[in-house]
Structure 1
């Protein structure tokens, strides 16, 4: 079982990119449906954040319909809040999956933002997330006028940029497929 977390910035600076995010989520779901056997191994959770963070879709089979992500009229991008929330969610979800006697792979966290945090203490929250026993593989996807150093720090495994012509759905699908296909990724 592969728990996958899409953590998406929905603040004012991302408003012009939310349609692209939703298209990417639909594209990812199409890929999952094309290979239903592999898709059955993937669980997806969607977390959004601006000034505050919220789970908009709890961990569920990736074959299930995905909630539409909506922008917020909030100017803040509180990365720390998102990392703190998702840390607790991942720990709870992994415990639950293991209690069901499922073989759980290392979670994947796909962070979508322009990388422009408004909370200066976010690196400490990121380090606490990375220090957990359920530390996720961190992948960042940048949209718009990105803060490259911030995204590089978050995407310890990989960083994709929409400005380079990479589509979100393709980046998400390839990251998840790479993880599912690697037998040592447990």
Structure 2
């Protein structure tokens, strides 16, 4: 068994690929490349993480699955397309995460509760997504039900981001007036720090998910 009962944290970036992201998709792709470079400099932390990149619009595209970023040659390129379906995003995770957890366990790893880093620049265009989200996050329904860290930029609303995040301290909204490209850069920086610190934590006596608040963001619960 390749895992040797090592601790692993599956991390999923679920990024909005709807058409409204067209002008800033380059910043998101650059941010993911910077994350990759940073993790190459943190091999002990990177070894504890398996990293997936998913893009959602009306459907979900898998750009990277359960990758050990120490061995990944490059990060994928996301491309804007379609409308913003939150239901598609959470429905995909509802099927994907239990299968991924079982696959990692079959390799001999000890798997910690997965973490989803969700990024959207707008409101959902579909109905019924809240029920799909409820099923995904219900630990009695979905094996490996994830912690969801939700970040809203652009036209995303704080109330919606609060509904997506699984804990109040996991929901963040960009400060009013912040340029969207700058918000994406800060999201990627915070994502990098969160992954590095969480990876380090998995090697400690008390492993935990560490979530870094992006600069220029407020907790969504504080927006009235």
What is the TM-score normalised by the length of structure 2?
0.75
Give the alignment of 1:1-186 within 5 angstroms. Answer: 1-63=8-70, 64=72, 65-72=74-81, 74=82, 76-131=83-138, 132-157=142-167, 158-163=170-175, 167-180=186-199, 181=201, 183-185=206-208
Q: Distance in 1 between matches of 2:165 and 2:190?
A: 13
Where structure 2 has 5 or more consecutive residues not aligned to the other structure, the ranges are: 1-7, 210-224
Q: Which secondary structure does the structure 2 equivalent of 1:3 belong to?
A: strand
Residues 17-40 of structure 1 deviation map (CA, whole Å, 9 limit, x = unaligned): 212211221221122111111111
Structure number, greater radius of gyration: 2
Following superposition, the deviation at residue 162 of structure 1 comes to: 4.5
CA contact (8 A) 2:154 2:174 kept: yes
Residues 42-78 of structure 1 deviation map (CA, whole Å, 9 limit, x = unaligned): 1111111111112122221123122111111x2x211
Q: Distance in 2 between matches of 1:140 and 1:20?
A: 18
How many pairs were matched up?
Answer: 184
Residues 142-165 of structure 1 deviation map (CA, whole Å, 9 limit, x = unaligned): 221222111111122413344466
Following superposition, the deviation at residue 128 of structure 1 comes to: 0.7
Q: Distance in 2 between matches of 1:106 and 1:115?
A: 27
CA contact (8 A) 2:60 2:89 kept: yes
Q: Distance in 2 between matches of 1:115 and 1:178?
A: 29
Where structure 1 has 5 or more consecutive residues not aligned to the other structure, the ranges are: none
What is the TM-score normalised by the length of structure 1?
0.90
